[in-house]
Structure 1
């Protein structure tokens, strides 16, 4: 096993599987520090039910799914409240778009073939796949997962669509003390890298920094000394949207691959 992270302090932005990620970092010689930027995700049944019923009653011209688990959750919830068949009928009567291979696979199991699919697993790729279609006056239901995908929502509204967002999951904000500590560590250059495992974690950090007036210092830290590491394309896209271009993202979207990629990066540095 390589030791590319020898002596490197690596912050973990996730709240799940932190022990697993910490073990991977230690095996590479690094020092893991957990700085959770994402609270617990919970199913918001009662909050989602009115929107789901509204969708079934009013129907839609387009339905956009952004995650496989979110797609499955809406089907399960529709069954739970007794509207599964009307829900599926409404889906079959609409054009469908989706982001991500897991979402595509979930829809395929339901015998639904999307009219528009991203080419790279990102929200930007999904938007590009939708640019050829007209949305003026169209009703669009968008399944979101944890965050509100502002670029997608803005695109649809600017195209003249009437948008109904449905979020089957919510994220509890992280502890302010934790984010504040991470910001200070970044500004003081006490970290070598930060591992982000969801786009939500990226938003949590940068929104907090903007609110506290230290956004420029945080961006400078990532540009100069601290490496941002993303578990996959969607998380990397969120970092780029915040102006962070110096980042790593593995081709295989797994936590283990992210840590190995990080280790290889440091092994290739002249000082190593």
Structure 2
């Protein structure tokens, strides 16, 4: 038994929710399933035109930003019979990546990045490319779940000829759950909220903003329900919304997050 006895822990990611709930329960806590984000793969046919264009014309740079997106991209290519030509087109280009999972996924396809971000963030990726001249260069950019204006703008400002592809989309499965969680946190009905990806944070705070409760929500995180976070990007997004009390394990794993939150409540 851990330190989560009588603690109410909200889990916000749809992925592996059952496993995380079990981990919380084994530590003595009560898991509240509050899915704020769901990842849906895009249809291969919707990506076919872009993939065929990149294969036909080639690209100077291939930029991958998530492991799950990289996997989905190559899965789509395989289903379209384009796996080998896509691999060749990417291999012939210079490669930049964000995140260690992305590097691992590329390795499965015999690909290795030349440029790797410094901290797992989009800003870190752009920083790693700061000294690279991209003027007039063709850049094939894999986006992650939603448009990322700052990232796209960063490449545009460097003069890149940008082609974007989105292998999956992030959706809100149950809008009413988002509203419910905002009030549960503010009302002190939750002791910790576990965030496993940045969109979960944005979804929650955008709902709070609609209700004029964003500031109150941030204060509640800092004083009542502690925020648990996987990854520097997620932690950075919490900080942007004014959340300063964050439990973030060194190893970016769901199990490590539960252990870190359990340790936070030690002696409580």
TM (normalized to structure 1)? 0.88
Note if contact 1:61-1:95 (Cα within 8 Å) is conserved in structure 2: yes
Write the mapping of 1:236-255 to structure 2, written as runs, cut at 5 A. 236-255=235-254
Unaligned runs of 5+ in 1: none
- Where 2:179 maps in the other structure, the secondary structure is helix
Residue 158 of structure 2 corresponds to which residue in structure 1? Answer: 159
Between 192-201 and 74-83, the greater mean CA deviation after superposition? 74-83
Note if contact 1:44-1:170 (Cα within 8 Å) is conserved in structure 2: no
Residue 134 of structure 1 corresponds to which residue in structure 2? Answer: 133
Q: 1:233 to 1:29 in 2, by over 3 A?
A: same
Is the aligned partner of 1:266 residue 2:265? yes
Is the aligned partner of 1:205 residue 2:204? yes
Q: 1:19 to 1:189 in 2, by over 3 A?
A: same
- Where 1:13 maps in the other structure, the secondary structure is strand
How far apart are the structure 1 equivalents of 2:238 and 2:143?
Answer: 19
Residue 89 of structure 1 corresponds to which residue in structure 2? Answer: 88
Q: 1:185 to 1:45 in 2, by over 3 A?
A: same
How far apart are the structure 1 equivalents of 2:256 and 2:16?
Answer: 14
Q: CA deviation at 1:40?
A: 4.8
How far apart are the structure 1 equivalents of 2:112 and 2:7?
Answer: 46
Q: CA deviation at 1:70?
A: 2.3
Q: CA deviation at 1:35?
A: 1.0
Q: CA deviation at 1:264?
A: 0.6
Deviations along 1:86-129, one digit per CA (max 9) or x if unpaired, are 32332133221011222212323433332210233333332221
Q: 1:241 to 1:136 in 2, by over 3 A?
A: farther
Q: 1:127 to 1:242 in 2, by over 3 A?
A: farther
How far apart are the structure 2 equivalents of 1:199 and 1:10?
Answer: 18
Note if contact 1:174-1:204 (Cα within 8 Å) is conserved in structure 2: no
Unaligned runs of 5+ in 2: none
- Where 1:7 maps in the other structure, the secondary structure is coil
Residue 8 of structure 1 corresponds to which residue in structure 2? Answer: 7
Note if contact 1:98-1:104 (Cα within 8 Å) is conserved in structure 2: yes
Q: 1:135 to 1:211 in 2, by over 3 A?
A: farther
TM (normalized to structure 2)? 0.89
Deviations along 1:183-235, one digit per CA (max 9) or x if unpaired, are 11122222121101122212221222233332222222223322110133343
Is the aligned partner of 1:107 residue 2:106? yes
Q: 1:188 to 1:65 in 2, by over 3 A?
A: same
Task: Provide the aligned C-alpha RMSD in A.
Answer: 2.2
How far apart are the structure 2 equivalents of 1:70 and 1:76?
Answer: 10
How many residue pairs align between the two structures?
A: 268
Residue 217 of structure 1 corresponds to which residue in structure 2? Answer: 216
Q: 1:154 to 1:216 in 2, by over 3 A?
A: farther
